[in-house]
Amino acid sequence: MTDTPTTLYVVRHGESVSNQKNIIAGQVDVPLTDKGREQARQTKLALKDVHFDVVYGSDLQRAIETREIIFGAPIPADHQKTTLRERDYGSLTGKPGAHLQAMHKVLLGLPDAEIRSYKYVPDMESDDEVRARFIGTLEALAQENSGKTILVAAHGATIRTMLMRLQNLTYAAFPTGSFKNAGYVKLTYDHGHLVVEEVAN
């Protein structure tokens, strides 16, 4: 538990090649597009008055590029965390985005409690699994960096599931795909709790 509140800015990467082609990337390593790099530069401008003491993020290239654009310097390899990666979509990885749209139609007929553990294919991560590893990692980073301001570059599904948990949002109110490229969430961590302070989406 921290003695001094810690601030975290959790940013989704800019548009990737897979986003552009509407392909499910999951944990496949793909770069940003030129549009994605420009989106990251716009987020850097939005956060120009924030001093980041330390930077972490997913070890996937689209997240690495995004945070290096925003931070303005290379990020140490040991600050690249596999636990901050995008959802593992299992056998859906590499398939057209239409497969996710089909999954969403199935989810609309289920209560939220079932959706959290639902897997459209057996080898994908559920929302509960994504949320547990992502929030757990953020809490650990906050504890290790008490009182500091942290930049974290991550992915759409991880940020969305986190927000749903921290803000008690329903799936109807915050469906898949709702969190946009290069959007960010400002969090504070104090007395063992993450609190959402701002959502710039």
Q: What is the pLDDT of residues 43-85, one digit of tens each?
A: 999 999 999 999 999 999 999 999 999 999 998 999 999 999 9
Domains of the chain plus CATH, in order, are 6-200 (3.40.50.1240)
Residues 86-105: what's their mean pLDDT? Answer: 91
Active site residue 79: no
Q: Which residues contact 144 (CB under 8 A, 6 or more apart)?
A: none
* Per annotation, catalytic residue among 13, 65, 79, 125: 13
What pLDDT is recorded for position 2? Answer: 42
* Per annotation, catalytic residue among 15, 86, 125, 139: 86
Q: What is the pLDDT of residues 8-48, one digit of tens each?
A: 999 999 999 999 999 999 999 999 999 999 999 999 999 99
Residue with tokens 């499910």: 24
pLDDT at 3 over 70: no
In this structure, the strands spanning 149-154 and 193-200 are: unpaired
Active site residue 13: yes
What pLDDT is recorded for position 156? Answer: 96
Q: In angstroms, what CA-CA distances link 66 with 43, 109, 146, 162?
A: 9, 36, 24, 20
Write down the pTM of the prediction: 0.95
